[in-house]
Chain A
Amino acid sequence: MSIQLLTILIVGASFALYIAIALWARAGSTQEFYVAGGDVHPIANGMATAADWMSAASFISMAGLISFMGYDGGVYLMGWTGGYVLLALCLAPYLRKFGKFTVPDFIGDRYYSQVARTVAVVCAIFVSFTYVAGQMRGVGVVFSRFLEVDILTGVIIGMGVVFFYAVLGGMKGITYTQVAQYCVLIFAYLVPAVFISIMITGNPIPQLGMGDTLADGSGTYLLDKLDGLSQELGFTAYTSGTKSKIDVFFITAALMVGTAGLPHVIVRFFTVPKVRDARKSAGWALLFIALLYTTAPSIAAFARVNMINTINGPEGQGIAREQAPSWINNWEKTGLISWEDKNDDGRMYYAGDERNEMTIDRDIMVMANPEIANLPAWVIALVAAGGIAAALSTSAGLLLVISTSVSHDLLKRNLMPDITDRQELRYARGAAAVAVVIAGYLGVNPPGFVAQVVAFAFGLAAASFFPAIILGIFSRRMNKEGAISGMLSGVTFTAAYIVYFKFVNPGANVPENWLWGISPEGIGTLGMLLNFVVALAVSRFTPDAPEEIQAMVESIRFPKGSGEAQAH
């Protein structure tokens, strides 16, 4: 059976499964649409959160990025997992006890202010759209490579599926579909990793294989071999990076805090029945995420060794172009890999200096890995299904945040307080439908800066939501003046820094010009600190939060008496 037919079968089967689940878990009320009725088991919620969180970027791009960055790639590994500790310890239980539907709900109520609510809604919608455009693009790329349809058709199929179960099922449909999607994506990620780990090191556990000796009988450790190869070819050693220590520190912190401030992640903790479950489900979520995130660096190292060896050959002299393995030809067609014979010897050569003749897109490392390692066709098909599952699950979660922000935070809580539950549900479905179409459009015609705005999304979440929520829980007296001025100064500072270096003057985006050597990716950390300082300072000179708000803060600090998530 051809790879293409196998891919259609496996991807088609996974779609049928998602749609069947959506039909079974149809939402009947806003309660079910927004928070799945609030009775999701913590383990199921953990899986759903993990699938929600791990996007096309985690599945398709991350291992590739690490493969090219070596030690520096640790910023993503620590940054995108460490945030869950903050979530579990500082946010999730308290927000669950607070018992509303959305992050703007909390900000608006806690700071007794429609201005604060509106700032939060705008940030939530912006962050979510930034993200979802990238996901739709991911679906399109997978479809175009493996099913050989054009990107437009791929995006439309993806939109159709998400539309069906997100609009119909709301949070309830999304949650149970995400559980299935987690299983598909983690299986698709682990199978090739295990195969390749056995091939390269003889160790079936990729996490251990990475630190094991090579299976060629030389007794050399894989990472030592990789360090040596990298340095011979003019790269820095794999286990030491090129970024400055302060930048690595700030980027990691921005990603951690950003993760804990992302609305589509936070809202997942409103779907469990109890405060106790909110804590536990953060733990399960991280466990399920860790399974992929500790496999990724192994895949990165294996893929790097494999790639260098197949291009430069066992003697390191380069492989003649006509003898190149078929994966190079396959991916050359997509334009993601290219070869320029600089020294006219007819041989390919990959290096970190002027000897280099290859241009290789980082994104192909995971998708091409099974081909590079000569794995059976069904593994390649499985990876395609996994990539699509990762993209769909994240898009659905984001679309839900967008539709909730519109129907609940903007209409119900702001502009049209008198609408009934049924009307609100209709608006929520309508908003989800519009959001799918916009996301699809952005996926087909990506603004040139999708990659850049992802840094924006994290920086913004870190500099806006995180301090406002933390202060709202841990400082009883924090008032609206402090919170609003904090959010505005944090966001303005972060946005200005990123916009300057990414859009206004991209030529100046070099370490010498950065403030204290902090790149735009890491500046959200400084924005967050600024938010905290401003909020605390302003609140000292303005009246304390009113008595009833302080009483509310006291009441979210212990679990007893948490009801279902309430609309009012």
Chain B
Amino acid sequence: MSFEDRTLAKAYWRENIRLLLSLLLIWFIVSFGFGILWVEELNSIRLGGFKLGFWFSQQGAIYSFVVLIFVYVVKMNRLDRKYNVHED
């Protein structure tokens, strides 16, 4: 066990899960939400030549995915260091 005690291990895991779920919520909203479920509503908004819902399903969701992963990388590295479980 690399943690000093079990409560720390639990706290680390709980923070990890919270981060995970909030990022997955955004992941769901930009793709399944904006790109599929609410696409007609968003299509009434225009972004230059794009209808917004269509843009999300063909480009916007993908950009969001990339950002989500890099946000996760930064936040997890910070969390690892906070609990002293990072690699040397």
Contacts and interface: CB of A to CB of B under 8 A. Distances in A.
A252 B69 contact: no
Interface in A542-568: 554-555, 557-562
A73 B35 CA distance: 11
Interface string A196-212: 00000000000100111
Nearest to A293: B62
A82 B36 CA distance: 14
Interface in B36-80: 36-37, 39, 43, 47-51, 54-55, 57-59, 61-63, 65-66, 68-70, 72-73, 76-77, 80
Contacts of B69: 84-85, 88-89, 279, 282-283, 286
A560 B73 contact: no
Interface in A266-282: 274-276, 279-280, 282
Contact of A78 (B1, B61, B80, B84): B61
A159 interface: no
A76 to B, nearest CB: 10
B85 A558 contact: yes
Given A290-B62, A290-B65, A71 B57 contact: yes
B87 A276 contact: yes
B72 A275 contact: no
Contact of B36 (A245, A290, A555): A245
A495 to B, nearest CB: 25
Contacts of B68: 85, 89
A290 B66 contact: yes
Contact of A90 (B20, B73, B83): B20
Contacts of B62: 77-78, 81, 290, 293-294
B7 interface: no
A248 B53 CA distance: 14
B37 A554 contact: no
A557 B20 CA distance: 13
Of A71, A74, A213, A559, which is in contact with the most chain B CB atoms at under 10 Å from its CB? Answer: A74
Interface string B1-33: 111000001001100100010011001000110
Interface stretch (A143-151, A219-227, A512-520): A219-227
Given A89-B20, A558-B12, A252 B27 contact: no
Interface string A24-63: 0000000000000000000000000000000000000000
Given A224-B49, A560-B2, A249 B12 contact: no
A287 interface: yes
Contacts of A116: none
Contacts of A433: none
A560 B86 contact: yes
Contact of B66 (A73, A248, A283): A283
A139 to B, nearest CB: 27
Interface of B is mostly: helix
Given A290-B62, A294-B59, A276 B23 contact: no
A222 B49 CA distance: 7
Contact of A554 (B9, B23, B86): B9
Contacts of A212: 48-49
Of A89, A248, A294, which is in contact with the most chain B CB atoms at under 10 Å from its CB? Answer: A89
A253 interface: yes
A200 B46 CA distance: 21
Contacts of A283: 66, 69-70, 72-73
A293 B59 CA distance: 8
Given A248-B36, A276-B87, A286-B65, A89 B23 contact: yes
A45 to B, nearest CB: 14
Given A283-B69, A560-B2, A249 B37 contact: yes
Contacts of A211: 47-50, 55
A290 B43 CA distance: 23
B66 A558 contact: no
B27 to A, nearest CB: 5
Contacts of A562: 87
B59 A274 contact: no
A213 to B, nearest CB: 7
Contacts of B57: 71, 74, 77-78
Contacts of A77: 57-59, 61-62
Contacts of B84: 560
Given A78-B57, A554-B9, A560-B86, 17 more contacts: A74-B36, A77-B58, A85-B23, A88-B69, A89-B23, A89-B72, A210-B49, A210-B59, A245-B36, A280-B73, A283-B66, A290-B66, A294-B58, A297-B59, A555-B2, A558-B3, A560-B2
9 contacts: A78-B31, A84-B69, A85-B24, A210-B59, A211-B49, A221-B48, A222-B49, A224-B49, A283-B73
The 6 tightest CB contacts between A and B, nearest first, are A221-B49, A74-B57, A283-B69, A211-B49, A558-B85, A297-B58
